Structure 1
């Protein structure tokens, strides 16, 4: 296999074209192929920067087939850049199958740093960033979405989601129902674009902001949910002591379940207490 046979994971701008890096441009110009989520979208980017590299599509509907083809091209000595429509590939976008196949075949993979909507939104949100969980997209159906939200009701770290314009209002209504009217939220809209906005407050506050102008419900959204108030002080000391003893021998999830059953406590609260104890140690 040629030394040039490399898969490059190349982040592209999430709005402002000036955010592309010199290294990303050099890579896109030098590779043999660009595997793009939407070749028409990527062609506009390439034309803007005068890049003439050949493109092929790689999206959720053809990824298995395309990944096999690209691995063969890489094994024959060609180089490939993987891009999504915007931001860092694989983050709620296609590419995982290709990267895994390349790793399995010992093909060199180089990931370039660059734009990512989730990290950009989080860094400017004003919510705690010492611990956070990126969840991708919530389920599209309200019932499944409510179940997913219920699972994070006791989570004490920040949760980060992408959300589609057609669902953003319904999602906020579900958050208000499941997590309560006072949970702190931040909505980031159209990051790095001329209409960029960060809106902080409760679910109702943000719904009111969206409803004030119909155009506000259009665009790209990152929704961040502040963590629940820490409940460790509400847990009895003997339960926390038993949890500490059990986690020395068992996975935290299993230990939390045992202590919860023994003391008739919430398993999620014990699990979060265990996570915080591990992070502090």
Structure 2
């Protein structure tokens, strides 16, 4: 076997070392993880899943101009079945799984029906609104005192429902606005706030400032003092791992050529529970008065 000259041996050694390094490098580099995209659903597709029969007289009429968070379903009428979290409208959800509800109180456990108050104040004078608000608050407090303090199923009894399905709204340039399934949750507690309270205003203002939703510093104006207000419900959730494991993701059927949810709402038009623009027009001032309805 002919002997290699010194230069040839050096080049051959470098080549062998280089090839060896490539093999080692290739073996040590992990393969990129697969990318999983959560299915995107429109508002109509989600409602069609929970209310499959269009002729069902109980099916609520969807009003895209007034989106809301709390919803029931055909198999659980009058009970909270799913939640729609609109983009930018629930700053407390990510850190604490908490939302502020201003409508559909009848779906929450232990809460008196508030539908009797909806829309009553439209077209009324300021004096009439103040009179109505006072009567409504007094009536509400009376209902709270007679409400069951613990409407939940005891821990030693199995749950009969599938948990509360939560969908979060997202948007991009390609698909516009859509919803993705976030998981199944259970309600941990409901607190009612009689909301003529500057502290609550400041809390929301600070949260929204962190979210970048307030350009300039907002202050509590004189027009908020003494304005009419109704109570708010603060709903605390936590993930229901058992329900998620048993039932999995909702099998929402995609519609052909489905587009965005079509709500066309802006951030200020979304029902947020507590919106700073709304607070500036008379919802908060005075002293905080909270009542824990149920907590487990």
Q: TM tier, shorter chain?
A: under 0.3
TM-score, structure 1 normalization: 0.22
Larger Rg: 2
TM-score, structure 2 normalization: 0.21
